[in-house]
Amino acid sequence: MKLDVLAFGAHPDDIELSCSGTLMKCVNSGKKIGIVDLTKGELGTRGTVESRDLEAEKASRILNLSVRENLNLGDGFFNYSQENLLKVITSIRKYKPEIVLCNAIKDRHPDHGRGSHLVSDACFYSGLMKIETSVANLSQQFWRPKAVYHYIQDRFIEPDFLVDISDVIDAKMDSIMAFSTQFYDPNSTEPQTPISSMQFLNTIKERSNIFGRTIGVEYAEGFTTERYIGVKDIFDLF
């Protein structure tokens, strides 16, 4: 299946929190979108691997994804290695995305920056024909995405560009709340965590509002780039 955009996240819910609005905008414009989670999020204080899998399925339906898969690299312990690079390269070649979205270049959770580095380098190596990968004993063709963009997560990073998500902000919040074990639930008996309060959810929406105000819209998501962005016409910018 050829995809237009493939988003990678170190954990299930990374993408929903950070760039789900952008993905929904792409879907609404007719693009095919997929998600690859690097881990099962098994070290999370709340919920289980099984509940997280079900929540990811629910979020995928809200986002209207074409595909979602999990590489199960090991929450907290995956490393930058040839083995893991090849797993990510295999996913890139499998879906042949034009654009790849991945974790923030640095963040509070060590997995985020490490996942960012792993996926970014895999996008380059995926374009080298002498690196061999296969699926079901069939050799894959080399493929390099046209662009890699990093979404912004817990720590504030100055964005290089912003995407207006005003018309999908409610659906974005719905996709986040699909992970019901992780976020605010007044009836939950599980331990409180830094992301389980109503204040955390408010912060997610407030940051989108702050980003939005800087470009004259209500809500936006921010990204950083690895290269300069070019446009054919200055009127493509607003």
Greater confidence (238 vs 113) lies with 113
Query: Residues 13, 182: contact at Cβ < 8 Å?
Result: yes
Query: Residues 81, 128: contact at Cβ < 8 Å?
Result: no
Nearest CA to 38 out of 11, 7, 16 is that of 11
Q: Is 108 helix (H, G, I), strand (E, B) or coil?
A: coil
| All domains of the chain in start order, with CATH | 5-227 (3.40.50.10320)
Retrieve residue 112's tokens: 């985020």
Q: Is 220 helix (H, G, I), strand (E, B) or coil?
A: strand
Q: What distance in Å separates the CA atoms of residue 29 and residue 54, rounded to the nearest whole number? A: 27
Q: What is the pLDDT of residues 39-66, one digit of tens each?
A: 999 999 999 999 999 999 999 999 999 9
Q: What is the pLDDT of residues 127-147, one digit of tens each?
A: 999 999 999 999 999 999 999
For residue 149, report the phi and psi dihedrals to the nearest 5 degrees: -120, 145
Q: What is the pLDDT of residues 170-189, one digit of tens each?
A: 999 999 999 999 999 999 99
Longest dimension (CA), the chain: 54
- Side-chain-side CA neighbours of residue 141 (13 Å): 5
